């Protein structure tokens, strides 16, 4: 049976890598004025990094999950 975390991790990791790469290649930045100071954000790069971290977190959960042993199915008489 397929663990749902595997395709979720793959999806978010691929989308995160694509967004980070696009954000680095095409640096479209948004300027946000706040209290007389202007902050500049690259939303593609920043959110791509967040999505990539979530995908890697899900992949880590898959890796940490211990596989169930087959001893329970072999113990039947």
pLDDT digits (tens, 9 = 90+) for 7-41: 999 999 999 999 999 999 987 777 778 888 887 88
Residue 76 lies in a domain: no
Q: How far apart are CA 72 and CA 77, in angstroms?
A: 11
Burial class (CB in 10 A: 0-12, 13-18, 19+), 9: buried
Residue 17 lies in a domain: yes
- Please tell me the total count of domains within the chain: 1
* DSSP letter, residue 31: E
Q: How far apart are CA 57 and CA 60, in angstroms?
A: 5
Burial class (CB in 10 A: 0-12, 13-18, 19+), 48: buried
pLDDT of residue 56: 95
pLDDT of residue 33: 80
More confident residue, 10 or 76: 10
Which structural domain range is residue 36 located in? Answer: 5-65
pLDDT of residue 72 exceeding 70, the answer is no
Residue 70 lies in a domain: no
Is the whole model's pTM more than 0.85, yes or no? no
């Amino acid at each position: 049976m397929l663990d749902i975390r595997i395709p979720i991790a793959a999806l978010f990791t691929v989308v995160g890598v694509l967004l980070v790469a696009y954000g680095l290649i095409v640096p479209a930045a948004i300027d946000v004025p706040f209290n007389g100071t202007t902050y500049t954000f690259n939303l593609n790069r920043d959110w791509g990094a967040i999505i990539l971290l979530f995908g890697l977190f899900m992949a880590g959960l898959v890796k940490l999950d211990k596989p169930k042993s087959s001893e329970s199915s072999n113990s039947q008489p």
